[in-house]
Structure 1
């Protein structure tokens, strides 16, 4: 992998991190505490709001996990380990890294 490939992947990771930040802003309202006043909201509406809140929290957790994977990929770039399989040590194909720049193992090792 040459320097231009690394720049491409840094840009791709940066774009994905920015997209996650934008999703966090959009999802923040759904994570707010649900009002439990039955006079203001009926029981079914409150249950629906609680379910929506749970989904918003799950999406936030997914975004946090993805953010951690992408930041780990940036660390691997800085250490010269990016693009190498953590399991077998072989080079991860560029096609796989374009699909998932945070991939830590090659397709062969992922298959088992």
Structure 2
């Protein structure tokens, strides 16, 4: 994702959510979907994406299917049941984090 540490910290959650919503996807397709959803404001670079995908696969959260695509092979990633559970947990954590950040950045005025 772009250089922000905030985005880098949420890359795996973004990947899991994309796969939850879109079914199986290949890496380049994920990068394009993120660009589309954010009006080109957020980009995922391959140097961050593929290590994250490999870790999610190693953790049992994704499966990989290799399919011929023209003259080459394309890896499609899909979310596992364990990955679906992890997605729910990570999204809940992220929502809680965003709620706390809103409270910190925009505290309500106390009428004390």
Return the TM-score normalized by structure 1: 0.31
Write 1 or 2 for the structure with the bigger share of strand. Answer: 2
Write 1 or 2 for the structure with the bigger share of helix. Answer: 1
Return the TM-score normalized by structure 2: 0.31
* Larger Rg, first or second structure (1 or 2): 1
